[in-house]
Amino acid sequence: MELLTVKPIPTKNWKNKMDRWELVVRRDKNRKKSQERVDERIHYLWFHYLKLCLNLEELNYYVEKKGGRGKVVAKTKVKVKKTIYKKWGLNDLYTVTFSKWYKDPKHRKLFQQGGFIPTRGTQYHSLVKRYNIFIEYFNRRTGNYDKDMQLCEDIIKKFQKERFDILKRNDPRSDNLSPFNKLIHKDIKDCEKTILACCNGEFPKSV
């Protein structure tokens, strides 16, 4: 089984934090400077999601749409529209750090001059969580039901400790399908929506 080579998004300590890490325009006295900070966070996430898209394209990954009883009714190949991203320096994304990439003036102006309009109101930490969960599950899944169920529990415990403790107290295995499994697969499907949108120059999701 081929593995993703991109790494989880590391914790980044921003100099200026915002409430709940929302990727929105802050309406304060210094709106221009505030918007620049928001743009940097959006670029940071978009930079990582785009690398994930390119990696999945290399692996010929398809996003599946399932109908009743889990039957696959449609497949969409992950394919980045290179013409849209011609100014993003795609050939360098794998080898350059975000900080170095973002210092390039033409990259800093992508939102103002490139026609990229992010969806407002999305929380930073949710996008990071989904991204990291997607990579963790993709690279560690086995195809064995019991092992993958345990993997889902381990991932929830790793990335969402508070949620894990609540589910444990509520006896998650009383259902036919563990809530751990449901939660992980929901995060993966949400991440896939962002991935497909990113391929088409939208972020974080299609609207």
| Average pLDDT of the residues of the chain | 81
- 60: pLDDT confidence band, cut at 50, 70 and 90? very high
Q: What b/e readout covers 20-52, taking b as 16+ CB neighbours within 10 angstroms?
A: eebbbeeeeeeeeebbebbbebbbbbbbbbbbb
In this predicted structure, the answer to whether residue 159 has a pLDDT above a threshold of 80 is: no
* Residue 49, pLDDT score: 95
Q: Which helix (H) or strand (E) holds 73?
A: strand 72-77
SS3 52: helix
pLDDT tens digits, one per residue of 20-46 = 445 554 444 555 656 777 778 888 999
Q: What is the pTM of this model?
A: 0.83
SS3 92: helix
SS3 117: coil
